[in-house]
Structure 1
Amino acid sequence: MTLGALVHGSGGHIAAWRHPLSPPDGQLDLPLHIRLARTLERGTFDALFLADVVAVWGHDLDSLRRTARADHFEPLTLLAALSTVTERIGLVATATTTYNEPFHVARKFASLDHLSGGRAGWNVVTSVVPLEAGNFGRDTHLDHTLRYRRAEEFVEVVRGLWDSFADGSVLRDRASGIYYDPAGLRPPHHAGEHFTVRGPLNISRPPQGHPVIFQAGSSETGKNFAARHGEVIFTAQTSLAGARDFYADVKRRAAAYGRDPDDVLVWPVLAPYVASTEAEARARLDELQELVHDDVARRVVQDNIGDLDLSSYPLDGPVPDIGVTNRSLSRQELLLGLARRENLTIRQLALRFAAVSSVIGTPETVADHIERWFRGRAADGFNVSFPYLPGSAEDFVDQVVPELRRRGLFRTEYEEATLRGHLGLPRPAGRPVERAEDDAGAGAAAAVAR
């Protein structure tokens, strides 16, 4: 089984920054992030993952001023720092294909892969927050379908840039004076609907060939994109049956695109509340739920079901009808489906969403859930979102991980150096460089002459 850790500075719960055991400035607390990274590496986690949007997470001032979502590091900068204080854990960052250029993303993740010795991963997103548009000279967010069309081409260009230098073509041969063999240089010369990129990338091929591609598409368009490109797929599932269906669907789609389904790992989100008794664990969740202010509760629903102003609706009244929006379709379906099935009020839906994917109980109970989903072909691993930090991460590493190891479900030590190695994923092949048998330097010089 594989495990990733979704790290927010103070914790994954919307009210985590108010928890008495979480630092309120955790979003920008580098010593806290270093402590967390080392704790997770001690627990032999495969990867540490940082989510991101290129805007504040929400714009309603009444709610935004009551959350820690307006204040967070740029993720690649933070992961570069963490690469110097860790040795094995993978380092995964979100970068949007809607508000970036392929050369920037290719260069940054190749650099992180070199800095970390082959531990970088890219979480490909098309952007879910419409406010991002205003930071990049656009009046409106790109349409959902257009965002994915742009993303398809974006990923193609980034992969071509990562392959700008064939494996072994950067010689750095001081004796011959040849730094790289031109025979191994292959600029992508891409010209498409959205991008024209000549290349080559100005850094040699990443140690992993390509950093690992993470993705979280759950709409029909998103699942097709994930099945074509994703190597680790994040998903939020609320039942074992739903998780099994999603798992089988993504694997089928990957096979239909000619991929080995075993090369596509599915990671449902898991939010663990761990204590010596179930009552104590449930009290930890209740404590956080009580810290959710009314303004925040309203905004949690509004921001996740779509562009609908809920300010005139009573929090303890029903969730109103909503039509098609330009937000995340899968998230909207998840929330509206939950509200309709259980006849939830706006407040109840907000609190359910704040606790979505929660598993509450003793270390054995949490391990039971993990084992049941893993052995039941609903997950290849989990993306663990710790409700408050650092305490819930330390509880998981010190109490749940040993139980998983006792059951033979999880490693006791790292056996590989790279993120691809941890995950059991193949390294993308690079084009070999053909050289004369007798002298590589002479071959390179001849290539230059040609």
Structure 2
Amino acid sequence: MADYDFDLFVIGAGSGGVRASRVAAAHGARVAVAEEYRVGGTCVIRGCVPKKLLVYGAHFAEDLADARRFGWKVPTCDFDWTTLRDNVLAEVKRIEGAYGTTLASNNVETILGRAIVTGPNSVRVGETDYTAAKILIATGATPDVPAIPGAELGITSNEVFDLPSLPKRILIAGAGYIANEFAGIFQQFGAHVTLVNRTDVILRQYERQIVERLLAISMAKGIEFKFNTTMEKIERLESGALKVVFAGGAEPVETDMVLFATGRRPNTKGLGLEAAGIQLDDHGAIPVDADSKTVADSVYAVGDVTNRVQLTPVAIREGHAFADSVFGNKPWRVDYGCIPSAVFSHPPLAGVGLTEEQARLSLGSCKTYTADFRAMKNVLAGRNERALYKMVVHPETDVVLGIHMIGPDSPEILQAAAVAVKAKLTKQQFDETVALHPSMAEELVLMR
């Protein structure tokens, strides 16, 4: 490897790229990472981290109202978007600096600029050429915007954190986790939210009963859903508002802002991968094997750019596995079989393992157990919102195949429950566990 400038050149300093860089360097490799925007990637800069902070901020709308039922004399409170926005952006900048410090402390050279692959062992950043024994592509994904007239009048999750002011009306196109999370955020901030989807299904990969509960709660809070509706064009009115026109003669909607949350596509455009003999798949993703290696023996790819599982913790594991396997003489592969995930909606939902539908399709049958209840806090607050937990169990072995839930703190509870599912514990073992009372989590061991 001494014949090259670096042992490893990473393109993209997001979660997967940073982890791979740090671990490879710890194994003794000479590592460089190129980043064209900001160190930290989508999750840190304009994704899950700032979004979760907005979720926290939005929750205070209900928390302040509930506090009065608990005896606190809370006056009428006004919300200042610019304060939250600026504090969130400041925290993002702090974390970005921490990522940069981590790379530097691990002797990873950070090169700011857009990198292009020029061959199986070469990369160009600006006017400078570099060579490397191994190249890792970790450029993530980018919002996918529909090709309709007026699409440029809308925004994506990339721009939503920098808004100068909050809209009074917002139309969100999409039905995945990004759409439902921002629907909850903007609704709590006082905007009228309209969510538009091409089909009548939201959050397709999650347990249906849980999703239906979220839909009912969201509608009760005033979020408007337009199903089986396709956007045809967006027009700017003289008033400054936007007019969204739909196909099929559906009534147009006037709104102040359109947010596209219509999926994310691998960020591979203009990377020069053809110079290394790499052809993209039909989704624009980089095909890789179980070790994250492309058809070029010297080029690897991890994270959203491969379109395997678009989750930050998965990208981190893929980057770690790559570095250990290639530079640490400790080969291992990522297990994609039991990945927990959450939607930070209002209320949040989370799940791990098989849904009931998936279990029935693969096994023919399954057992299910549910707990449908009002959290103690909601009861005293006079809030009718109900939590729902569901357990999917193997019909013969009694092994818990999946756990799904919606309600306060569901993601926090689900993380621990995911360990049990991963360990293939049985329903009997859940039943034999003493409940922690009073808690919402105790419902996991009380389902009969």
TM-score per shorter chain, which class?
Answer: under 0.3
Structure with greater contact order relative to length (CA < 8 Å, sep ≥ 6) = 1
Whichever structure has more helix as a proportion of its residues is 1
Whichever structure has more strand as a proportion of its residues is 2
